[in-house]
Chains A and B, each alone.
Chain A
Amino acid sequence: MNRGPLIFLGIFFALAFSWTGVVLTNQIQYGSLTPFYDQGEGKTFPEQRSGLAERGRLVYQDLGCLYCHSQQVRRPGFGADTERGWGERQSVARDYVNDKRVYLGTMRTGPDLRNIGARQPSPDWHFLHLFDPQLTSPGSIMAPFGFLYEYRRIVGERSPKALKLPGDYAKRRSLDTPGYELVPTARAEALVAYLLSLKDTYEFPEAKPYVPKKSGGAK
């Protein structure tokens, strides 16, 4: 192999091969996949996110949540995703067509979040959990996000959004000063709105909820 140009051509076509196959072909195959209009419901799925949730997506992105949480449900029988209640059905490509950036993720240090909005619909739970995961999930190794909250003097009335911390916890963390309250910042609110928007609880012709067989050994 002493001919430079020939080596170069080989090198060029080697990468051109996978670029065509993995990138171009898929872009042509389903790069213009559209949302699905459900005539029964009179709505288009997946639905657009609210502006607040869209801002929350950016918080999710800047804090690097995807390094511990995936957003994809594997098919029943491949892993235990549906058994764990992470989704009623497997995720399909159409679920993601409205996501400006796709956070499929490759790690499950924590649980999958593709349907966290359906699984854990309470904003209060999320606010407590993000402030200190030990409050809601003792033994968790998730990072606390105290910096998304503000401990401030109550002006006028107590904010309806103020966190209701357990008494002994507030005391231990010195968060029980009378006249003070712990409130989520705008970023925390946006992030929770985004988490609550994560729910693929609709059907596509190509993706229906998994119904386990009544009899038979296969799980």
Chain B
Amino acid sequence: MPDAPSLASSLNPATPTDAVARAELSEIDASAKWPVIVFLLSGLAWLLVGTVFALISSIKLHTPEFLGDYEWLTFGRARTAHLNSVVYGWSTNVAFAVAFWLMARLSRARLRHGGLLIVAACFWNLGVTIGVIGILAGDSTSIEWLEIPPYATPLLFVAYALVGVWAVITFRFRKSEHIYVSQWYLLAALFWFPWLYSVAQIMLIFEPARGTVQALVNWWFAHNVLGLWFTPIGLAAAYYFIPKVLGKPIHSYYLSVLGFWSLAIFYNWAGVHHLIGGPVPAWVISAGIAASLMMVIPVVVTAINHHLTMVGSFSALRYSPTLRFVVFGAMNYTLVSLIGSTMAIRGVNETTHFTHFTVAHAHQGMYAFFTMVMFGSVYYILPRLLLKEWPSATLIRTHFWATAIGITLYWVGLSIGGWIQGTEMNNGGIAFIDVVQHTIPYLFMRSVSGIVITIGHVAFAVNVVWMLCARRPAGATVPTLFHPGPVLSTPTIR
């Protein structure tokens, strides 16, 4: 007989320890196994592809003659191929994988007819592949974050419809009475994204709006892809894995409610801050700035909730790969969001707009926050699906330090370079070519940090492939940790 959940148990997604519940969980994991693995592996492949394009475009920006004779790899195309491979290839695939697994686990419901999700994965990846090749061939729409040519987008739409419907069905079959905060974020994200995407497609490509209304639709969409798609998935994962690994409840239920609804209301207006000073109505810019500043509320609330959950358990970061990646991501979420709100203030934006400062900011959001949380999630999920442990702790360590140091170097270097670029650009007395020349050392530093990050990605890929090929050991296994023998409150640490 299930008891009515106590307040403590309903706040805590930690695994019940009795055997029946464990059997149920392994049944759920088994049902999610193949769809999640297919999404993860295709995401991983795109991560590597995206990394190659990233390096090419980064090098081109300080050494423009590098591969300069190849039209397919000219900066404007290579950079766009990078963005679309990492956003729609890596990030969205891994988001699907993590979202499905979390949804099944938290709803305590088996994933039904997982085969259809594999079909969705094929459609999605076919769409992204055609899209990226189209961009390289010169069919880009040149609408930021929506560059995939219109002949590939219907494939993406079909795939997305299957994914969204399946997540809702899994949610409908939930056995748990309580709806955990991660599930709110997942449901919201899965519902918001197709709305954003279809409005943007219609108003920009199929039946374009006139004049700069296009720019408003563009940034309403593009910023919300971050705010209403990747951020909720990243936060859902952080809300799940931090308490899960630590084996203790999240700090405050009420803060998580406040954090969720304030994010839902404010974030979706914020995108207009990309048009400050631009030829659009001043009132909508002011509204966007106000919303960007109001974002401090959900960010601080979520930060309190995540970081206070960590207080007293920081030693676990020494052992758990999942926790180390997720906490790194959560800390960067706090930082990147507060910086983002600051950048929306007109006086600050006057300097940072149109500079590499914004590029650094975008990478801190998409990589230092979102991607790092996803890495942490994969370290937790994959062993449970494959019933094998990670073959090498050294590779995980390499992955963590290379990506963490690499992205920090990237962000710090390019932020400084971008700020200098902005102040010099706003000084009419400095020749433009000098402004350009002064950014080159920072652009070079970016390529160096890109190489460091690449080392991390290779370590990750080797570990995943090695794990897939390794033979499954008989009997119980011990999680792969950075250091052996931690004794924590639960045995679920990973």
Question: Contact at B210–A33, with CB atoms within 8 Å?
Answer: yes
Q: How far is the CA of A19 from the CA of B268 in the complex (A)?
A: 8
B210 shortest CB reach to chain A, Å: 6
Q: Is A51 an interface residue (CB 8 A)?
A: no
Task: Flag whether B44 is at the interface (Cβ < 8 A).
Answer: no
With A and B bound together, what is the CA distance between A143 and B74 in angstroms? 7
Residue of A nearest to B143 (CB): A101
Residue among B60, B213, B265, B427 with the most chain A CB within 10 A?
A: B213
Residues in A with CB closer than 8 Å to B314 are none
Q: Is A41 an interface residue (CB 8 A)?
A: no
Contacts of B268 in A (CB 8 A): 14-15, 17-19, 22
With contacts A22-B269, A64-B140 taken as known, whether A108 is within 8 angstroms of B354 at the C-beta atoms is yes
Query: 0/1 per residue, A11-39, Cβ < 8 Å to B?
Result: 11011011101110111011111000000
Roughly how many angstroms separate A139 CA and B436 CA in the complex, as a whole number? 8
| Cβ of B457 under 8 Å from chain A | no
B191 and A31: CB pair below 8 A?
Answer: no
Is residue A145 within 8 Å, beta carbon to beta carbon, of the partner chain? Answer: yes
Q: Which residues of A contact B179 (CB under 8 A)?
A: 1-2, 4, 7
In the complex, the chain A residue whose C-beta lies closest to that of B428 is A83
CB-based contact B265/A11 at 8 Å: no
B257 is an interface residue with CB less than 8 A from chain A: yes
Distance of A58 Cα from B194 Cα, bound (Å)? 28
Write the B429-454 contact mask toward A (1 if CB under 8 angstroms, else 0).
00011001101100100000000000
Chain A hits for B358, CB < 8 A? 106-107
A residues within 8 A CB of B436?
Answer: 109-110, 139-141
User: Is the pair A63, B192 in contact by a Cβ cutoff of 8 Å?
Assistant: no
B350 located at the interface, meaning its Cβ lies under 8 Å from any Cβ of chain A in the complex = yes
Q: Report Cα–Cα, A77/B251, bound state, in Å.
A: 47
Which residue in chain B gives the minimum CB-CB distance to A141? Answer: B64
User: For the complex, is A198 an interface residue (Cβ under 8 Å from B)?
Assistant: no
* Residues of B with C-beta under 8 A to A14: 188, 261, 264-265, 268
Q: How far, in angstroms, from A10 to B265 measured CA to CA in the complex?
A: 9
Please state if B278 and A72 are interface contacts (CB–CB under 8 Å): yes
Q: Is the CB of A93 within 8 A of B61?
A: no
Q: Tell me, in angstroms, the Cα distance from A1 to B178 when the chains sit together.
A: 8
Known contacts A67-B75, A93-B280, A107-B354: does B142 contact A17 (CB below 8 Å)?
no
* CB proximity of B329 to chain A, nearest CB, Å: 24
Contact between chains at A66 and B61 (CB < 8 Å): no
Main secondary structure of the interface of B (DSSP, over half): helix
Total A residues in contact with B, Cβ cutoff 8 Å? 75
- In the complex the two chains form, what is the Cα distance from A74 to B426 in whole Å? 11
Q: Mark A138-180, 1 if CB is under 8 A from B, else 0.
A: 1111111111000000000000000000000000000000000
Say yes or no for A118: interface residue by CB 8 A criterion.
Answer: no
Q: Looking at the assembled complex, report how far the CB atom of A49 sits from the nearest CB atom of chain B, in whole angstroms.
A: 14
Q: Does B281 contact A (CB under 8 A)?
A: yes
Q: How far is the CB of B330 from chain A (nearest CB, A)?
A: 22
Q: How far is the CA of A19 from the CA of B275 in the complex (A)?
A: 17
Least distance between A217 CB and chain B CB atoms (Å): 16
Partner of B192 from A11, A21, A138 at Cβ < 8 Å: A11
With known contacts A22-B216, A26-B284, A144-B68, A67–B269 Cβ distance under 8 A: no
Binds A, one of B76-84, B158-166, B305-313: B76-84
Give the docked Cα–Cα distance between A19 and B140 (Å). Answer: 26
* A19 with B199, Cβ < 8 A, contacts A62-B138, A79-B350, A146-B69 known: yes
A55 in contact (CB, < 8 A): no
Binary contact track B274-315/A, C-beta < 8 Å → 1, others 0? 110111110010011000000000000000000000000000
Residues in A neighbouring B491, C-beta threshold 8 A:
none
Residues of B near A145 (CB, < 8 A) are 74
Bound-complex Cα distance A144 to B79 (A): 15
**A30 near B213 (CB under 8 angstroms)?**
yes
Chain B residues close to A by CB (< 8 Å): 60-62, 64-65, 68-71, 74-77, 79-80, 138-144, 171, 177-179, 184, 187-188, 191-192, 195-196, 199, 203-204, 208-217, 220, 224, 228, 257, 261, 264-265, 268-269, 271-272, 274-275, 277-281, 284, 287-288, 346, 350, 353-356, 358-359, 425-428, 432-433, 436-437, 439-440, 443
Q: Would you list 27 pairs from A and B whose C-beta atoms are within 8 A, ordered by A residue? A: A8-B191, A19-B268, A21-B287, A22-B287, A23-B216, A27-B213, A31-B213, A62-B77, A62-B140, A63-B74, A63-B76, A64-B80, A65-B142, A67-B79, A74-B278, A84-B428, A90-B279, A93-B281, A96-B211, A101-B214, A102-B215, A103-B142, A139-B436, A143-B68, A143-B75, A143-B76, A146-B69
Q: Assuming A27-B203, A61-B140, A143-B64, what are 6 further A-B pairs, CB within 8 angstroms?
A: A11-B264, A61-B141, A62-B140, A67-B79, A72-B279, A105-B354
